[in-house]
Each structure stands twice: as C-alpha cells, then as structure tokens.
Amino acid sequence: MGSDSALSSTKLAQIPTQEGESHTPSTALLSFSTDSSDPSNRSQKHTTTIFISLLLITCIALSAASAFAFLFFSSASSSSSPAPPQTSSSLQTTSRPLTKLNHPVVILISSDGFRFGYQFKTPTPNIHRLIANGTEAETGLIPVFPTLTFPNHYSIVTGLYPAYHGIINNHFVDPITGEVFTMRSHEPKWWLGEPVWETVANQGLRAATYFWPGSEVHKGSWNCPDGFCMFYNGSVPFEERVDKILSYFDLPSAEIPVFMTLYFEDPDHQGHQVGPDDPAITEAVAGIDKMIGRLINGLEKRGVFEDVHIIMVGDHGMVGTCDKKLIFLDDLAPWIEIPAEWVQSYTPLLAVRPPPGVAPGSVVGKINEALQSGKVQNGKHLKVYLKEELPSRLQYSASDRIPPIIGLLEEGFKVEQKRTQHQECGGEHGYDNAVFSMRTIFIGHGPQFAKGRKVPSFENVQIYNLVTSILKIQGAPNNGSLSFPGSVLLATS
C-alpha cells in the first residue's frame, strides 16, 4: 500500500515543460529562477515562474490529499470488513485425541420442550459456547410423530419410530389385553427395541441414567443398577442432577460410564402453562443455560471437558393454544356420534378406536363429511384418516397399538368432547412433525464434533447411530441410517 501511494504522488508531481520533457518540481523551479540573461523577457519569465510555481504547489497538494484519502479509506475498509470465510482446506476433518480419558464418553442431555429458537430468547452464554465450539442442526432437530414426550425420548435412544418401539403415545391402550400404558408403566413388554443403555450394558460397558423415559425398565443386560439409574422424581433439583453426573468423573477412569443421560423438565413445564412467548419461558431457558454452565465448569475442573462428548437435545417444540381454536366432537352429532369411550386421545393427536362391529372406514367418512360441511366450528382445521392412509412420512401405522382412526390437527388447534365454560390459554405439542414450531435443538460438542459447524436438520431417530459410532460399539437394528454419523462426526484418526 505504501509503495503504490508513493508512486501515485510521483506521477502527479511530474510537470511537462514546453520542450515536452518531464522534470521533477525542484528542477523546474531551478530552471526558471536562474534564467536572467535577457532583461526584456525578465518580467514575462517572472510571471511564468509564478504561474508554474502555483500550478506545481496545487498539484503537490492534490497529490498529498489523494494519497491521504487512499490510505484513510483503505484502512477503514480493512478494519470493517468481516474475516474471510474458512476454506474447505482449512476446516477440521479429523477428531481431536482424548487427553484425560481412555475411552469416549457421551452425555446425552434433554431439555424437555426446548423449542428451536428458545436459545435466542435470552442470553444463553453456555449453550452458545457449545454451539460455537461444536456442531449444531442449523434449523433444529425434527421430532418423530406424534411430537410427544415419551414417544420422542424413546425414539432418541432406540433409533426407532414409535410404531416400532411401541411407545405410540404418552397414554394408550393395548387392544389385545385391554391394559393401559401410562408414564409410570415400567414393564418390559411395553418397551420394545434396544435403548442405548441396554446396548452399552450388553457389551459389558457401564451406562448411567439420570431420568429418561424407559431407563427404569429392566431389559437385556440392563437392570437399572443402583447408583447409576435414578427413578424419576421431578422434585429433585436440577443442580443435584448435574452434580451426580459430575461425580461419575471422580471414579477411576476405567469405571466412568461411557454413556450418561441427564433430563430437565423445563421449559416444557412452563410452556404448557403459558405458551411459548411468555416471560416465564425466558426465565426457564436462562435456568437451563445455567445448568449447562454448571456441567461445563465441573468438567473443566476435572480436566475432562474437551474429552467428553455432550449432545444436547429437546424432544419437541411448543405452540400457543387458546379457546378460540377448539373443535368439539359433540358438534359432529348431526352426522355421527363419537362417544367419549371411543376416544383414546383428544389433543393434539385425535385417536379413535370404535368398538367391534363399527367399521372404521365408515366413521372416518362421516367425520370428514361433517368437518368439511362448514357447519362445524373450526372443522376445516382437522382432518381424519384411517391410520394406514396417513402420510407415509409420519411412519405411524405399523403397530396394533395405534388406534385405527387418527386425526391430524393444524398447528395450535385442540379437540374436546363438549363445550364447557372453562377458558384458558397455554401451550401444546404433539402436532404433525412437519410443523416448524415442533422442532427442537441438536447441539454436539466434543472430540468428534467439528467446531462451529452447521448441519441440515434431521430426525431424532438418527441419534442412536450417532452415539454408538462415537462409542465405537455395535448398535441394534433401527430406523436410522448407518451412513448418517459420517455426515455429522469427524473422521477418527
């Protein structure tokens, strides 16, 4: 930059003489000021000298101004320009070696109901530290359908869609035995597939779970070991949960569990009460970030933060609901009566199982006729299907546990049996997983995650293979892609 400016100044200062020669300013001035041999021309030459001198001074001033402006604006431009993007040759391609641990470790964290975008509602320095130094699903993690807590948590750890792992809703009825599944059901017959902790135990390794749907169930080699498997108790402070996970890193290296889960009920708890846009959500998100900070600090004090793989996810998103977005089954009466005992789920997933002798296809036809008539309040916002006719992308038909009639509600709408005077606004989830408000987060940080990398959104059934790939263990058959981990994880050296 300096040599270019000097060259520019030199060119501007050169002044052509009458003979067509080029001289520097000092030479020209000397030539005119010493020429006094002809008295008759002295006055003319003096005038010419003054003119040339003024012209020369003007050119020098213009040259200096131009050089100054060039330097000034060049400096300003370079200081305000963003740093050039990384080229493909400079991106990290291989995983970082472990320095403190002698085997890979994964901590899988769930923040229930953490809708994608919540991380921007308030300062979340700890979550953003993981994002900045790790890998993030750029537009969020896609839950499975239905976008409910138990089906999604179990899909995350089995890699199976609900129709295949058996937990098709938070509550449902076995059509053969008539038994009812609730969120307190721990019998192995309900929980199909092989969750990660069972995969780990089957291979002689240690896992630890601090709350996760299905973790209390004895399956395969997993017997929910004392001290490494916590029975759900929502009253346990979040700090206590984090500290228990940290305590495992105080064990001898060979005894540290290779896989751990950590679960927080927030911000789902607040979301149901006030919807996704209330200040209570902001406060809850800040609280989760504080817990992530507590975990990071504890790992750093033990010198293992850079060795541990942290995968932070949610199970689903959240959308606001209000009474003006209600559909009442009693309003269908002119076309068909749907008794309450037929209904296994109202909102946001309408699930109906008619008694034997009542053809599901006929019921679907009459319900849709009513909904499309224009005479049922908000009817156009609900569409009812035979389960085998649901969009195939939902993967929600290959199980007898799924009732034969499924209704899909549009975002924010609810179904109730009959009109009441009860008025409320809050939040809900469970809708079609194509609805963007149902998306949640995926953040991966650790030796096998590239720093500052963004990956396209993906379904949470891919996480099982991601974990088994990090741990270098053989996974069970699942609905995820065996090649998927290669698109997210760094190559191991």
User: pLDDT (tens digit, 9 = 90+) per residue, 97-125?
Assistant: 999 999 999 999 999 999 999 999 999 99
Start-end of H helices in 392-441? none
Q: Which pLDDT band holds residue 210 (cuts at 50, 70, 90)?
A: very high
Residues in the chain, how many? 493
| pLDDT value at 389 more than 70 | yes
DSSP conformational letter for 117: T
Burial of 400 (0-12, 13-18, 19+ CB in 10 A): exposed
| Number of other CB atoms surrounding residue 330 within 10 Å | 12
Q: What is the pLDDT of residue 12?
A: 30
- Tell the residue number behind the tokens 């800040």, with chain if given: 286
Q: Report d(CA 296, CA 179) in Å as an integer.
A: 43
Of 64-78, 94-108, 283-297, 335-349, least confident by mean pLDDT is 64-78
Residue 493's pLDDT band, with cuts at 50, 70 and 90, is confident
Computed over every residue of the chain, the mean pLDDT equals 86
| pTM for this entry | 0.82
Domains of the chain (ranges, CATH numbers) = 94-319+434-492 (3.40.720.10), 326-424 (3.30.1360.180)
The answer to whether residue 149 is catalytic is: yes
Evaluate if residue 13 carries a pLDDT over 60: no
Predicted local distance difference test score (pLDDT) of residue 423: 72
pLDDT value at residue 347: 93
Q: How many C-beta neighbours within 10 Å does residue 391 have?
A: 12
Amino acid code (one letter) for 17 = T
Least confident range from 29-38, 139-148, 309-318, 442-451: namely 29-38
The span from the CA of 263 to the CA of 467, in Å, is: 17
In whole angstroms, what is the distance from residue 238 CA to residue 109 CA?
12
Q: What pLDDT, on the 0 to 100 scale, is given for residue 420?
A: 85
Catalytic residue (one of 124, 147, 149, 209): 149
How far, in Å, are 45, 91, 168, 471 from residue 129 at the CA level? 76, 19, 35, 23
Using alpha carbons, list the distances in angstroms from residue 78 to 72, 73, 75, 83.
10, 8, 5, 10
Checking DSSP bridges between strand 382-386 and strand 405-409, what pairing results, if any? antiparallel
Average pLDDT estimate for 360-373:
98
**Arithmetic mean of pLDDT, 4-27:** 35
d(CA 114, CA 120): 12
Q: Is 303 left (phi over 0), alpha (psi -120 to 50) or beta?
A: left
- Exposure class string for 351-365: b at 16+ Cβ within 10 A, else e: bbbbeeeeebeebbe
* 34 has a pLDDT exceeding 90: no
